[in-house]
Amino acid sequence: MAMETQVATIATDRTSNVSWGAVIAGAIAASALAFVLHSFAAALGLSLSSTAPTWRDTSFALVFLAGLYLVLLAIVSYSFGAYVTARLQTPLAGVSSDAEFRDGMHGLLVWGLATLLTGIMVIAAAQAVPRLAAPSAGAASTSVAGENIIAFDLDRLFRSERRPPGNMDYPRAEAARILLTAPSHRGMQSDDRAYLVRLTAAMTGLAPADAERRVDTVIASAQENLNRARRSGIVLGFMAGAAALIGAVCAWYAACAAGRHRDGREALSPLWDWGRPAVRP
């Protein structure tokens, strides 16, 4: 009977082993540090996207460097948040054998919560950017995503000395949807190309032959730009996934190291032991 009571007491104690206050504090610290490091990246030109029409001219080396920066950012921010969480916890009495695992799991909880917060911010930013970067004024475009990817190509397609008749929102959106088929497996269909030539001639007043040459030039440019954007997206997506996985590992080990420092099982480096008394000569 005494053994059953002891087991029940231990089980009850372990159900409250998650220190959610420390986890939330660590996740906030990790997200704040990640935001600061993202700001530095934007200032250095390592941001993942740009509203400039020539952002597609970014070289592969710079895209890869931006991906490596994502990995470094994940290592630093997740490790910092997990370390903060483990140091804020109160050591458990009588379960020292599980202390390492408990600290590591708290580090993973910080990683998961900070990742969710980052994902929410990225989704909110992705929804806001198209509205801010929509090229046409007035009513919202019917193909904002397509126009933002190849906005400069659309400008070149409909460039004219005269004022285009009527509202250009729908013609631009329609042309964007047609141009987006250029890098597909089947490529742009002949009837779509012919319609784009007629649309360009009607909007710009060009002769059919001139409109056809302009359309061919814009199709080639849009295809190259879309392929380059696709390759950049693949590289950055892979690096973002790798950064998240590496961040999980770093969060686990950082939390375990912080637990050893907290419990006095491992001496803290003098460089980071800010609480030590000052030594006077």
CA distance linking residue 76 with residue 37, whole number of Å:
9
Domain boundary assignment for the chain: 19-135+236-263, 144-225
Residues 63-80: tens digit of each pLDDT: 778 888 889 999 999 999
Residues 178-216: tens digit of each pLDDT: 998 888 888 899 999 999 999 999 888 889 999 999 999
Would the CA dihedral through 199, 200, 206, 212 be positive or negative?
A: negative
Q: Please state, as a whole number, how many other Cβ atoms lie within 10 Å of the Cβ of residue 238.
A: 11
Token digits of residue 157: 């397609």
Q: How far is CA 250 from CA 84, 103, 198, in A?
A: 13, 12, 58
Asked if 136 contacts 172 with a C-beta cutoff of 8 angstroms, the reply is yes
The predicted model scores a pTM of 0.70
Token digits of residue 276: 């030590």
CA 113 to chain centre: 15
CA distance linking residue 153 with residue 150, whole number of Å:
5
CA distance linking residue 184 with residue 187, whole number of Å:
5
Residue 235 has pLDDT above 60, yes or no: yes
What mean pLDDT is reported for the chain? 78
Residues whose CB falls within 8 Å of the CB of residue 133, separated by 6 or more in sequence, listed in order: 51, 148, 151
Residues 124-176: tens digit of each pLDDT: 766 665 554 444 444 444 455 556 778 888 888 988 877 666 778 888 888 99
Asked if 96 contacts 259 with a C-beta cutoff of 8 angstroms, the reply is no
